[in-house]
């Protein structure tokens, strides 16, 4: 009797969606995520997610590996070029296969369901929520620091504030896709303002003759293959996020135009910002002083922007909050698409009937992120899993090459030279193998076993779809659907 009652309520919910969709043309597609993301919002998503806290807090990793200012600046510029090459490959893939979910639909089309499933399993369970958690913890640390002068905020305060930030961001993204885009735009503008202030201050210092750290900038450079490679590894980590727009392709207005245009504008803009900010740092600090600083932008502000140096940590808070919002925005779309394809539980693919957002997927990502806040060494976790991210980048670039031969019939509004994809594959292979060869550790094996361990769930629940699992999930899905007022998405070809 209870199942019949649930079925009737579920039918009523679906009928409610159908009746609502008849009222206005604007609400015809009640069971699809709406498409409010234009060119400016797309650029802000790329820039706002790429520029997090790293450029303000610790850009010293590249300097440590290069040993001198000149090679350091060259590496920052070269990392921007490499990121642009990777993004151009994604522009072709994103305009050829206009589905959300980042690398997921491209791996599905080129290599089949197993690589796509392993990608979604790794990103949804570890990479995306742990990244969201790390950014939220950075936000919490800088937001709490003014209330604890002379000492670090207690862990319980930092973690509680990070959890509140995650809940707030998830809530905003669930209630309105458009408001989430506006939040991203505002906080991206805020971080560009502080970058502009730092760059202008650096130009003034250069005009005043503070060039001692930049002249003879190649003296003492470390030119070994290993150290330069490590510098590129750290630099490309700061550029991570260049693929974020591919996670929301279905929500873009005119993706054939706006996806490649946002990439061409956004990533070079970040590259220019990174290089100019580093030059500004060296006008006020020597390489030794920069390496000794715990938060480079704060040190720069104390020296150059006094008595208004407080604006630097304030804008770092804005920057990290914006990056966290972008991370949540895109992670929810990957979870939503994986659920829609049957690689995650179906409820994660459902759309809010009232707000037209993938709220179950967003809530699930936020829940995992709060769990990842609890352990003390979350940075270690993400560092060991970062090699997996580059493995998927390389696999996706190789998917572009493969589909040039296997899917010739697909329309390609953007078509990049194959050698660009080959460069991305080679760089990705190096970045996967370099940390393992340089410092072998059991943790890399554990990460690999975790990734492959996803197959233990894939075969019984996804491939074979055992009847007993469906009997368990069906009533659970119906209860959650009624509780959250969500409906299945429209089928996307």
Query: How many other CB atoms are there within 10 angstroms of residue 326's CB atom?
Result: 30
Would 428 be classed as within a structural domain?
yes
Q: What's the CA gap between 132 and 327, in Å, rounded?
A: 6
pLDDT at 272 over 80: yes
Q: Which ranges constitute the DSSP H helices of 345-453?
A: 359-373, 378-406, 418-438, 442-453
Q: Which residues pair with 351 in a beta bridge?
A: 487
Tokens 């707000």 locate to 355
Would 398 be classed as within a structural domain?
yes
Q: How do residues 233-257 score in pLDDT, each as one tens digit? A: 778 878 888 898 999 998 888 899 9
Would 15 be classed as within a structural domain?
no
Q: What's the CA gap between 169 and 323, in Å, rounded?
A: 11
Q: What's the CA gap between 81 and 72, in Å, rounded?
A: 15
At a CB cut-off of 8 Å and minimum separation 6, what does 150 contact? none
Q: Is the peptide bond before 207 cis (omega within 30 degrees of 0)?
A: no
Chain CA centroid to CA 438, Å: 26
Of the pLDDT bands very low, low, confident and very high (cuts 50, 70, 90), residue 166 is: very high
The distance in angstroms from the start CA to the end CA of the chain is 37
Q: How do residues 472-490 score in pLDDT, each as one tens digit? A: 888 888 888 888 888 888 7
Of the pLDDT bands very low, low, confident and very high (cuts 50, 70, 90), residue 4 is: low
Predicted confidence at residue 94, as pLDDT, reads 93
Q: What's the CA gap between 98 and 93, in Å, rounded?
A: 8
Higher pLDDT, 179 or 6: 179
Would 32 be classed as within a structural domain?
no
pLDDT at 347 over 80: yes
Would 34 be classed as within a structural domain?
no
Q: What's the CA gap between 392 and 399, in Å, rounded?
A: 10
CB contact at 8 A, 276 and 54: no
Question: Per this entry, what is the length of the chain?
Answer: 493
- Identity of the highest mean pLDDT range in 57-61, 292-296, 401-405, 436-440: 401-405
**pTM passes above 0.75:** yes
Would 2 be classed as within a structural domain?
no
Q: What's the CA gap between 63 and 32, in Å, rounded?
A: 47
Q: What's the CA gap between 46 and 266, in Å, rounded?
A: 6
Query: How many other CB atoms are there within 10 angstroms of residue 436's CB atom?
Result: 14
pLDDT at 30 over 50: no
CB contact at 8 A, 161 and 135: no
Would 9 be classed as within a structural domain?
no
Q: Which residues pair with 385 in a beta bridge?
A: none
Tokens 């896709």 locate to 177
* Structural domain of 67: 40-487
Q: How do residues 95-133 score in pLDDT, each as one tens digit? A: 999 999 999 999 999 999 999 999 999 999 988 998 898
19's enclosing H/E stretch is: helix 2-21
Q: What's the CA gap between 275 and 74, in Å, rounded?
A: 9
- Mean pLDDT over the full length of the chain: 85
Predicted confidence at residue 316, as pLDDT, reads 87
At a CB cut-off of 8 Å and minimum separation 6, what does 375 contact? 381
Predicted confidence at residue 35, as pLDDT, reads 54
At a CB cut-off of 8 Å and minimum separation 6, what does 149 contact? none
DSSP three-state, residue 37:
strand
Lookup: tokens for 1 = 């009797």
CB contact at 8 A, 113 and 343: yes
Most distant CA pair in the chain: distance in Å?
83
Tokens 């939220």 locate to 136
CB contact at 8 A, 353 and 198: no
Q: How do residues 352-361 score in pLDDT, each as one tens digit? A: 888 888 999 9
Distances (CA, A) of 483 to 4, 23, 353, 487: 17, 25, 12, 11
CB contact at 8 A, 38 and 25: no
Would 83 be classed as within a structural domain?
yes
Tokens 């070079």 locate to 268
Q: What is the CATH number of the domain that holds 346?
A: 1.20.1740.10
Query: Average pLDDT in the 456-465 region?
Result: 84
pLDDT at 366 over 80: yes
Task: Rounding to the nearest 10 degrees, give the CA dihedral for residues 122, 126, 131, 132.
Answer: 110
The residue ranges of DSSP E strands in 224-375, in sequence order, are 351-352
Domain count, the chain: 1
Comparing 12-16, 124-128, 188-192, 297-301, the range with the smallest average pLDDT is 12-16
Of 393, 61, 82, 370, whose CA–CA distance to 227 is shortest? 61
- 10 Å CB burial of residue 156 (0-12, 13-18, 19+) is exposed
Lookup: tokens for 234 = 């750290």
């Amino acid at each position: 009797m209870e199942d019949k009652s649930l079925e009737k309520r579920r039918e009523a919910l679906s009928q409610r969606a159908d009746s609502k969709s008849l009222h206005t043309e604007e609400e015809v597609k009640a069971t699809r995520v709406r498409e409010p993301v234009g060119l400016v919002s797309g650029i802000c998503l790329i820039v706002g997610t790429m520029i997090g806290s790293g450029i303000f807090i610790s850009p010293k990793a590249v300097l440590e590996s290069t040993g001198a200012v000149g090679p350091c600046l060259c590496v920052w510029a070269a990392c921007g070029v490499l990121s642009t090459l990777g993004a151009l490959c994604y522009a072709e893939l994103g305009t050829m296969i206009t589905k959300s979910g980042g690398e997921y639909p491209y791996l599905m089309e080129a290599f089949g369901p197993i690589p796509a499933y392993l990608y979604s399993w790794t990103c949804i369970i570890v990479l995306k929520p742990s990244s969201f958690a790390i950014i939220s913890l950075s936000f919490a640390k800088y937001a709490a620091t003014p209330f604890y002068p002379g000492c670090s905020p207690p862990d319980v305060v930092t973690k509680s504030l990070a959890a509140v930030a995650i809940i707030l961001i998830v809530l905003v993204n669930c209630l309105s896709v458009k408001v989430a885009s506006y939040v991203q735009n505002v906080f991206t503008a805020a971080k560009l303002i502080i970058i502009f202030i730092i760059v202008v201050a650096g130009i003034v210092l250069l005009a005043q003759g503070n060039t001692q750290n930049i002249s003879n900038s190649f003296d003492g450079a470390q030119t070994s293959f290993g150290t330069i490679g490590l510098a590129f590894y750290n630099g490309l980590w700061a550029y991570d996020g260049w693929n974020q727009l591919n996670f929301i392709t279905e929500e873009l207005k005119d993706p054939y135009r706006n996806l490649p245009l946002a990439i061409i504008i956004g990533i070079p803009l970040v590259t220019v910002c990174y290089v100019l900010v580093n030059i500004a740092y060296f006008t006020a600090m020597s390489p030794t002083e920069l390496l000794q600083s715990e938060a480079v932008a704060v040190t720069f502000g104390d020296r150059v922007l006094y008595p208004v140096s407080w604006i630097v940590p304030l804008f770092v808070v804005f920057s990290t909050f914006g990056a966290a919002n972008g991370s949540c925005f895109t992670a929810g779309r990957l979870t939503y698409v994986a659920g829609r394809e049957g690689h995650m539980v179906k409820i994660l693919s459902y759309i809010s009937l009232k707000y037209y957002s993938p709220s179950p997927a967003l809530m699930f990502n936020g829940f995992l992120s709060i769990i990842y806040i609890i352990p003390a060494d979350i940075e270690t976790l993400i560092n060991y899993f970062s090699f997996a991210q580059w493995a998927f980048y390389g696999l996706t670039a190789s998917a572009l090459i493969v589909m040039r031969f296997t899917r010739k019939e697909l329309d390609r509004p953007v078509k990049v030279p194959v050698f660009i994809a080959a460069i991305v594959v080679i760089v990705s292979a190096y970045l996967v193998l370099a940390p393992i060869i340089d410092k072998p550790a059991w943790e890399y094996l554990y990460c690999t076993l975790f990734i492959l361990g996803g197959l233990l769930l894939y075969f019984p629940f996804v491939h074979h779809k055992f009847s007993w699992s469906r009997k368990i999930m069906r009533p659970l899905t119906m209860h959650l659907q009624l509780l959250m007022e969500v409906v299945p998405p429209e089928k996307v070809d």
